[in-house]
Structure 1
Amino acid sequence: MGAKQSKPAEDVNPESPSKFGLGGDKQTDLQFVSKYKPQTEGQQLRILLHGLNGAGKSSFINSVHSVLKGRISALALVDSIAYDCFTKQYTTYKIEKGNPNTFYPFVLNDMMGMKNANDRVHVKDMKRAMRGHVKDGYTFNHVYKLSKEDPYYNESPTINDKVHVLVCVIDASTDDLCGENVARTLREIRLEASELGIPQVAVFTKIDAAVPEIKQDIRNIYKSKKLKMERFSVNVGIPMNCIFAVQNYHSEMHLHNDIDTLILSTLRRIIAFGDDFLNKQNMC
């Protein structure tokens, strides 16, 4: 008997207008995320975040969790002092939906950030993670890649173990947004993901620190050319319509409607890209 099928995810128009010009409509996007279900019963969409140390991967996970829970929360541990990568283990985050033990049908994976542009171990572990070979709890090492003999190596990954959408998190506040060496490494990871058919997006964080006009009013986000998205797109290869900007929650005590709008708009598009890939896998 075939697997039970549910209603496919609705199409997403990346250019959908919003009241504030933030790239989405909060209630529409929240409804999409809340109603999303993979076509095949029992499957879950896996979203893997990667990038340089301190880019804001864990903060993005916390921001998504906060918006969906309706309050400021801290699902993933973060550090306010970026001396080194705070995340050491490969961790899968599920988000509770309403009742206890009921979760959204997508998960977010956090992993150790890339230490520098020549971090070859990071690239190798990334490849294994995308293929579903890394088990939860694996502690990353900048010197040694995950070996097949390691107890955290998943020899026979299922479709739920594999990555369905890859998210490159970029700190927009850095002076050198994406230097030549970093771009080359990110490009290598992108090509590996492309060989697997995995869709990729980029999320620019810390936009409020990058552009004074945005710090004054987040609704200026797409009016500014200072985020250098076009340069990043050319250097790494991710199309402009797959690059999004968000402001993570980091010091706020309460939710902010415009911040929520950006996060939900980005999450909706990430889910839509991943769902398309998941459906293709099911047809193979």
Structure 2
Amino acid sequence: MCFVLQYRIYSVKDGKDGKSLPFMLCDSMGLDEKEGVGLCVADIPHILKGCVPDRYQFSPHKPITPKHPTFITSPSLKDRIHCVAYVFDINSIDNLSSKMVAKFKQVQKEVLNCGVAHVALFTKVNNCYEVLQDNFLKMNKSMISQSQIQNVNKMLGIPLSNILVVENYASEREMDPLKDILILSALKQMFRAADDFLEDLPLE
């Protein structure tokens, strides 16, 4: 199900002094295998190029166009997407329908055409705590089966090193150091991927 209806751009602030950190996180509507439901694939290029404004209301039936009153016609480099993160429920990755796989491939084609970096994030992993407490360096190998890694690698062409694990915050009232380790580790890898994208841009 697609719970996000608006395109949201979030600034991240330093917990100590409240200053905005030099990156932003963007959240879009998710994909759905049914036609006319979920994010319209035709919106992807506009999102990647930075043409979609914050709080834009998505329409599964009609993508944004340059005629839209809030369409950003001349986005700057800071408006563009530097790294795309595909988020998967680890429990459903082996059961994706052919229609959903086809939509992912459409999205991946647009991402590759724009030369944007990309990673895959696995959520809802069952044994995060056991792995982290035992050996943090082996967490990806222990928490994800080789078949799941290979499926995502084959389906989306994402490098194995960019297939990452995070643990969701759901009903917690306090910060959890173990969850934070996974989130920060994934964020660090996303920054590296974004750096590769930026370094590959023409000097001008």
Q: TM-score, normalised by structure 1?
A: 0.63
Structure 1 runs (4+) deviating above 6 angstroms are none
Correspondent of 2:60 among 136, 142, 158: 142
Q: How far off its partner does 1:280 sit?
A: 2.9
Aligned to 1:163: 81
Correspondent of 2:142 among 198, 223, 229: 223
Aligned to 1:254: 174
Q: Does 1:207 align with 2:120?
A: no
Cα root mean square deviation, aligned: 2.3
| Matched residue count | 195
Secondary structure of the residue aligned to 2:79 is coil
AA of the residue aligned to 1:149:
K
C-alpha spacing 1:191/1:238, structure 2 compared with 1 (3 Å)? same
Higher relative contact order (CA 8 A, sep 6+): 1
Correspondent of 1:193 among 107, 111, 126: 111
Aligned to 2:23: 106
C-alpha spacing 1:177/1:258, structure 2 compared with 1 (3 Å)? farther
Aligned to 2:136: none
Correspondent of 2:185 among 265, 270, 273: 265
1:28-43 pair list within 5 angstroms: none
C-alpha deviations, 1:204-255, integer Å up to 9, x for none?
11112xxxxx167243663241771211211221121111011111122333
| Structure (1 or 2) with the greater helix fraction | 2
* Counterpart contact for 2:128–2:167, Cα < 8 Å: no
| Structure (1 or 2) with the greater strand fraction | 2
Partners of 1:182 and 1:124 in 2: CA distance: 15
Partners of 1:161 and 1:175 in 2: CA distance: 31
* Uncovered stretches (5+) of structure 1, i.e. residues with no partner: 1-52, 54-84, 209-213
Partners of 2:125 and 2:177 in 1: CA distance: 16
Partners of 1:135 and 1:175 in 2: CA distance: 31
Matched-pair identity in %: 27
C-alpha spacing 1:237/1:265, structure 2 compared with 1 (3 Å)? same
* Counterpart contact for 2:117–2:194, Cα < 8 Å: yes
C-alpha deviations, 1:247-269, integer Å up to 9, x for none?
11112233333222111111001
AA of the residue aligned to 1:200:
H
Aligned to 1:242: 162
* Uncovered stretches (5+) of structure 2, i.e. residues with no partner: 133-138
C-alpha spacing 1:175/1:200, structure 2 compared with 1 (3 Å)? closer
